[in-house]
Amino acid sequence: MYRGQPLASHRLCASLDRRLNNVSLRSRRDLQKRMRDYVVDRRPQLSSLSDDSVYALLQHHGAPTRLLDWSTRPYQAAFFAMSSSLEEQADEDDCAVWALDSGAACFRIGEGGVKLLYPSEQENTRAIVQRGVFTLNESLQPDIEGYLGQLESSGHEKPVVVLKKARIPRNDSELALWDLSAMGIDFESTYPDLSGLARASYSRALLGSRRELYS
């Protein structure tokens, strides 16, 4: 499975874990659970979903959670990396697509490891169109790279390649986004609601103005 990130230097750490990196793992778990309870209290139809599925729903709608988004589609991950790179207008780094071996034994350790989550698609159309999968880091390491490094140093058997990063030069993003759009991968298809249309209007206008500027 694949994850796109706008900055290649960023490590694989979930937003809530990154923001509260000085808070205990137990406290971060409790905070996420309170977020879930708040949402379900106001949307009772979500009460039938597992906690992980509610967390995924929150993640897909902009709330910081302990989950990291991945996709089974590499081109979808590339879109996330390059579109975010375009919107953020950062120029200090390339963007990147990460590839993770979801069949590796090190992701089936359970408590104290990094878990793969395949949440319910009920009430979550974004998970359907994005082919969404998630990781949840329950280890004491701050990110997935740290978790894998800990396993390697402890002699835990793992595949030769579990995680790999492909850097994408930022200057290639604009042309690649036009190609992805021709493949049907853009903001409108990725976010099938008004927010997707709104973001598409900005990216199209921005890409179009740049093409005119440099043509």
Average pLDDT over residues 62-71: 94
pLDDT digits (tens, 9 = 90+) for 12-32: 999 999 999 999 999 999 999
What pLDDT is recorded for position 213? 41
What 3-state DSSP class applies to 164?
A: strand
Which DSSP category does 48 fall into?
G
SS3 42: helix
Phi and psi, residue 116, nearest 5°? -100, 135
Grade residue 214 by pLDDT with cuts at 50, 70 and 90: very low
DSSP assignment, residue 19? H
The per-residue pLDDT for range 117-163, each reduced to its tens digit, is 987 766 677 777 778 899 999 999 999 999 998 888 876 655 457 99
Contact (Cβ atoms closer than 8 angstroms) between residue 89 and residue 7: no
Closest of 104, 105, 102, 139 to residue 118, by C-alpha? 102
Is residue 61 classed as helix, strand or coil in its secondary structure?
A: coil
Contact 65, 55 (CB under 8 A): yes
What is the gyration radius of the CA atoms in the chain, in angstroms?
Answer: 18
pLDDT tens per residue across span 80-94: 999 876 766 555 678
